[in-house]
Amino acid sequence: MVSFFLFLPLQNRIAKNKTTLTRMQTTDNIIGVDLGGTNIRAGKIIGEKIVHLTKLPTPSKGSVEEVLNQIYAAIDDCVNEFSLSIGVGVPSVVDVEQGIVYDVTNIPSWKVVKLKELLKKRYNLPVHVNNDANCFAVGEKFFGKAKPFKNIVGVTLGTGLGCGLIFNGKLYEGSNCGAGEFGNVPYLLHTTEYYASGQFFTDEKKVKAIELVQKAKAGDESALKVFAEYGFHLGQALKSILYAYDPEVVILGGSVAQSFALYKDAMYDAMQDFAFRNVLANLRIEVSELENSAIYGAAALPLIKQ
């Protein structure tokens, strides 16, 4: 149950628990929320750890209010009187300044939702809302393998392909939070996403990726060939990203990234005709090891803005 203390004005709570503005720039008790079509995950972060995690099913076919109430329930379980901010990652385009989300993937009722306004009214805390791929990149920057770098591209490889961009240590969203959407770029007969995400296995090859992984690990030649083909397509996608952004590091995340060893060689082979040899030589490609990276990144949204 949420204490009535939470609904006092923010400035009163800060005075009461002696929180300073300097402390608000840290990762000391910040809340991150990952809104997905299947689950809503919320976490309380203190230091560099999620100390409390809540996972609830998303009523994806429900009304705006039904989905909101489930988000509230997840946050209520994590927030307390010492919480400093709330960040939310959503699979959609976002008006970042106003915190309005549009056409949320797999949640049909969420066409236009003023999420920031609603959360601020309920919790009296600073609220930040952004695209989930952007949150992935931010999470890696503050808590994962991208810590030492300033120019980062985070690529999520799951049922779709998403990109989050960080330049000179700052998140770059574009004018409408649409920057980095390489998955929608036309490629061959479809899009880059179709060939370089999980769709390649389910839609193109008509096979469950997990079954193919098991066969490939057992040495099945046909399965290994499919992963080599996938690696080729991902390599083409990464070359486009390099030409556009020239990052120091690319961090791969999502379910398909967990099988990196099966397509890594084919991916690198496909990138060998990249025009600028020094760029390719200096590039690092890493697979995320950060569990719940979207929660970490959503919570850290106020930090990346500074």
Of the pLDDT bands very low, low, confident and very high (cuts 50, 70, 90), residue 305 is low
Instruction: Please compute Rg for the chain using Cα positions.
Output: 20
**DSSP 3-state assignment of 207?**
coil
Tell me what pLDDT residue 176 has: 84
Q: What is the pLDDT of residues 114-135, one digit of tens each?
A: 999 999 999 999 999 999 999 9
Return the domain boundaries, the chain: 4-136, 145-287
Average pLDDT over residues 11-26: 41
Its pTM stands at 0.89
Tell me what pLDDT residue 17 has: 39
Of 301, 288, 258, give the one whose Cα is nearest residue 45: 301
Of the pLDDT bands very low, low, confident and very high (cuts 50, 70, 90), residue 306 is very low
Average pLDDT, the chain: 90
Average pLDDT over residues 290-294: 93
173: tokens are 């969203």
Percent of the chain with pLDDT over 90: 85
Q: Do 4-136 and 145-287 come out as alike in CATH topology?
A: yes
Sequence-distant (≥ 6) Cβ neighbours of residue 285 within 8 angstroms: 238, 249, 250, 252
Tell me yes or no: is domain 4-136 CATH 3.40.630.30: no
Q: What is the pLDDT of residues 153-209, one digit of tens each?
A: 999 999 899 999 999 999 999 888 889 999 999 999 999 999 999 999 999 999 988
Average pLDDT over residues 222-250: 97
- Which class in CATH covers the domain with range 145-287? alpha beta
Percent of the chain with pLDDT over 70: 91
**DSSP 3-state assignment of 113?**
strand
Query: From CA 220, how far away is CA 63, in angstroms rounded?
Result: 46
Tell me what pLDDT residue 25 has: 54
Tell me what pLDDT residue 209 has: 86
